[in-house]
Amino acid sequence: MSVTIVWFRQDLRLTDNPALTAALHTDGRVIPLFIDSSADPLPWRDGAASRWWLHHSLKALSAELARRGSGLVIRRGPAERALRQLITETKADKVVWNRLYEPAHIARDQAIKREFKQQGVAVESFNGALLHEPWQVLNASGEPYRVFTPYWKALQRSGLEFPLSDAAATLPPLPDTLESVPVAELGWLPRMAWDAGFRPVWTPGEAGAQHQLERFLETALADYTTGRDFPDRPGTSRLSPHLHFGELGPRQIAVAVLGRMRHFPSECPESQAFGYLREIAWREFAHHLLYHFPSTAEQPLDARFNDFPWTADDGPLLRAWQTGQTGYPWVDAGMRELWQTGWMHNRVRMAVASLLTKNLRLPWQHGARWFWDTLVDADLANNSLGWQWSAGCGADAAPYFRIFNPVLQGQRFDPEGTYLRTWVPELNRLPDRYLHQPWTAPPVVLREAGIELGTTYPLPVVDLKQSREAALAAFALLKEAN
Ligand SMILES: Cc1cc2nc3c(=O)[nH]c(=O)nc-3n(C[C@H](O)[C@H](O)[C@H](O)COP(=O)(O)OP(=O)(O)OC[C@H]3O[C@@H](n4cnc5c(N)ncnc54)[C@H](O)[C@@H]3O)c2cc1C
């Protein structure tokens, strides 16, 4: 009887999981495996928020596999050693997995593939994470795209409809003898309970992802292109961590959104369906860029920025930004939402990134690292694209050097201060007109609101106008020199 190991990584689902489907077609034994890769020499190890997610997601996957008569074998890495050991124990003749796109993962997986094939073990990999593979969507000269709009057009031409496979109702049983590390022993939950704010807002796992998708389709998709800009509304799908861990694939999303557009056109007009799929396409584009330009996680895509005059490493400014103590309430609200829930609304991500890289002129890599540790949706492709775009050194950067004004952004996208008051409660009693710039409030208003600037809430850490001019001057010099 054939024995196939299904190596789960960022594809923690049973529905439309191409590697699992292929293993089940062999009609032999199927061994679902997860490897704790912390022992592999990978440059971007999961951050603390990702480990929290992974702990809960693996528990959910184990339970779903067990409900269907199988189970999840969890082993400690390095990956190659763990796989080799399991092949010996089970006499497996085949290993399957869904592909990853981080450069170090690609290198590791290729080495493992070569090694096992030489030893007579079949290895096959699949696309479980993207609409289309990065090497399939290329421009007329066969080159990768660097600008989003033509990429999005090409992606649509490649097709947004896919046949999906259902989750199997039953799975072949596991041999009794296989050892597995209990999830709790992997030590991924925090020792100090900083996750209290995570628990009420997230349900890691495939069922949580499906539920979140249905909620979004029914309540927010109809008004997505407007609602997505307002962080006080549940106007976006909040599917990013589910997508990162593959609890739901983008193909499932595309099929669900297009299906809704067809069956309920008045509730889901084409503009909204495609407005949402366009964001899913940004995720594809990010993976496309990381695949074709693998150094973008560390280096600016626009090489001129290697010479950008970043401020010398400033511990106190970085710390003020990380802890939501910059004195700019819109930015502080975002940074505190991030710390407390592991997520931040996209509109606010752009503003906090702009303040860090333009006004404080700290290197974008500092921000990317902090996001990497604190986001539950930390994703090397999306995070690198988001930071490089914000710093102005990435693909599709605005032709002018865009600097967000956190006061105007807050006034426009949170006019009543609902979002801001949730995350910066010490400003609760300030009238709306001063909320986004408390330093402009007359002393009597501050006193009545119980605020002492510099004590109960910080004064701005940087002058917006001066720092903006300094950033523009630095950019102008860069343009002149190159
Ligand atoms: C500085 C910065 C850093 C970021 N880091 C990450 C990150 O580590 N992980 C991450 O998933 N996203 C990142 N983003 C992109 C975006 O902010 C999040 O994907 C989005 O806020 C997730 O919320 P949502 O699922 O409700 O999004 P929705 O608006 O519902 O969008 C649906 C999905 O489309 C994808 N998407 C949406 N916008 C983008 C975008 N600009 N770039 C790439 N994919 C996108 C995401 O997978 C998202 O889940 C970053 C953006 C910025 C500006």
| Range 199-206 average pLDDT | 97
Contact 239 CB / ligand 1 (< 6 Å): yes
CA of 2 to the centre of ligand 1 (A): 41
Tell me: cis bond preceding 78? Omega within 30 of 0 counts. yes
Structure tokens at 210: 């499906």
Which ligand 1 atom lies nearest to the CA of residue 239?
25
Closest C-alpha to ligand 1, atom 6: 383
| Range 141-147 average pLDDT | 95
Structure tokens at 277: 């799929």
Surface-to-core class of residue 411, CB atoms within 10 Å of its CB (0-12 exposed, 13-18 middle, 19+ buried) = middle
Contact 180, 74 (CB under 8 A): yes
Q: How far apart are CA 167 and CA 65, in angstroms?
A: 10
Beta-carbon contacts of residue 394 (< 8 Å; ≥ 6 apart): 289, 296, 300, 301, 302, 384, 385, 387, 388
The per-residue pLDDT for 397 is 66
The per-residue pLDDT for 468 is 96
Q: How far is CA 308 from CA 73, 165, 361, in A?
A: 48, 49, 9
Q: How many CB atoms lie within 10 A of CB 108?
A: 20
Q: How far apart are CA 378 and CA 270, in angstroms?
A: 30
- Has 452 been annotated as catalytic? no
Contact 10 CB / ligand 1 (< 6 Å): no
The per-residue pLDDT for 482 is 75
Surface-to-core class of residue 266, CB atoms within 10 Å of its CB (0-12 exposed, 13-18 middle, 19+ buried) = exposed
- DSSP letter at 458 equals P
- Has 482 been annotated as catalytic? no
Contact 262, 217 (CB under 8 A): no
| Range 404-409 average pLDDT | 97
- Has 448 been annotated as catalytic? no
The per-residue pLDDT for 312 is 84
The model's pLDDT over 415-474, given as tens digits with 9 standing for 90+, comes to 999 999 999 999 999 999 999 999 999 999 999 999 999 999 999 999 999 999 999 999
The per-residue pLDDT for 395 is 81
CA of 85 to the centre of ligand 1 (A): 38
| Confidence (pTM) | 0.97
The per-residue pLDDT for 314 is 79
Query: With 90 as the cut, is the pLDDT of residue 367 above it?
Result: yes
Contact 285 CB / ligand 1 (< 6 Å): no
Domains along the sequence of the chain with CATH: 3-128 (3.40.50.620), 130-165+205-292 (1.25.40.80), 303-481 (1.10.579.10)
CA of 377 to the centre of ligand 1 (A): 8
Contact 356 CB / ligand 1 (< 6 Å): no
- Has 282 been annotated as catalytic? yes
Contact 466, 447 (CB under 8 A): no
How much of the chain is in helix, strand and coil states, percent to nearest 5?
Answer: 50, 5, 40
Query: With 80 as the cut, is the pLDDT of residue 193 above it?
Result: yes
Query: With 80 as the cut, is the pLDDT of residue 313 above it?
Result: no
